[in-house]
Structures are given as C-alpha cells and as structure tokens.
Amino acid sequence: MAGSIREEAMPSAQERVQLLAQELKKALKEAKAAEARAKQLGEEVMHALAAAKAEAEAASIIVEYPVGRYECKGCHQSTIFSHPYRELPVCDNCGAREYVGAEAKVIKKEPPPIRKYAAGMYECAGCGARVVVPENTDKLSPCDLCGADKLKPLSG
C-alpha cells in the first residue's frame, strides 16, 4: 500500500513533459507580453526625452517685460507695470493679454556644459538589450543584463 501511494504522488515522465510544456508556453506568453510592454515603454521614453529636451530649451530663454507704461491693444486702456513680468497679465478692462509698450527683454541662459553621452536610448554591444540614459552624462553605466560596458546609441 505504501508503494502505491508513492507511485501515485510521483508524476510520470509523460506528465512532467506535459507540465513543463504548459509552463514553457506560459513563460513564452509572459515573455511576449513583457517584450511588448518594453517596446511601449521605449517609445514613451523617447517621447519623454524629446519633451525634456524641449522643456530645457524653453527654460534657457527668459522673456521679461520691464517696468513701464503699456497700452492694451484691445481697448487702449493705459496701464503702468510697477515690476517686471515674465508673462503679461490680462487687461483689467477687457481681458486681453496683448499690449503696446516697452520691448520685452530676452535673456538666453548659458546651456550646461556638453557631456560625452547625450540622454537617449542605447543598445548594449554585448547582448543587444536596450538601455535608457535619462540625462546627459560623461560616463555610461554597464548593461543591467550582461554587465558589458559598451553601449552604443540606438540607430533609427
């Protein structure tokens, strides 16, 4: 009786093959889903990097409207700004934001020093994995998957 219980508890080689085949199928399905998610995240990273670059460029230019007398383009109401503005306020009379008056002063901030590696998507020369470099840097980290220290910019 003890022998028959032990035999029932141990799956046959054929049953193990079927179980392993099911697990493999499940793992492959999960891998495909993970690959699709990684591709989607890669595209989102590229869009976010482009937006970050645009934000940095926009932040490097400051427009300042100086103190002085202005006239609303919409209703011609005269207004005196007692302190500088980066964005003109709405007209108290008509709600417009366009004025005639002193010329805006444009200040261009110096960009940060150029780094050896630009923010972007890189490919590991060792295993081909995609690696995101979130900001400009002078030193790249090794690949998270294989540890190779050679990354190249992703082409295309």
pLDDT digits (tens, 9 = 90+) for 38-78: 889 988 988 998 898 888 888 888 888 899 899 999 999 99
Is there a domain that residue 116 lies in? no
Q: What is the pLDDT of residue 111?
A: 77
In a domain, 94, yes or no: yes
Bridge partners (DSSP) of residue 100 are 71
Phi then psi for residue 51, to 5 deg, are -65, -40
DSSP string of 41-72, one letter each residue = HHHHHHHHHHHHHHHHHHHTEEEEBPSEEEEE
Instruction: Tell me if 75 is assigned to some domain.
Output: yes
- Whether 37 is in a domain gets the answer no
Domain region containing 103: 61-108
Name the token pair of 40: 């989607």
Query: What are phi and psi for residue 64, nearest 5 degrees?
Result: -130, 125
Q: How far is CA 60 from CA 50, 53, 108, in A?
A: 16, 11, 6
The DSSP bridge pattern shows strands 68-72 and 78-81 to be antiparallel
**Which residue type is seen at 118?**
A
CA contacts within 13 A on the Cβ side of 120: 12
Q: How many domains does the chain have?
A: 1
**pLDDT tens per residue, the chain (156 residues)?**
444 455 567 789 999 999 999 999 999 999 999 999 988 998 898 899 889 888 888 888 888 889 989 999 999 999 888 888 888 889 989 999 899 987 888 888 887 788 898 888 899 999 988 888 888 899 988 898 899 989 988 865
pLDDT recorded at residue 4: 47
pLDDT of 7 reads 53
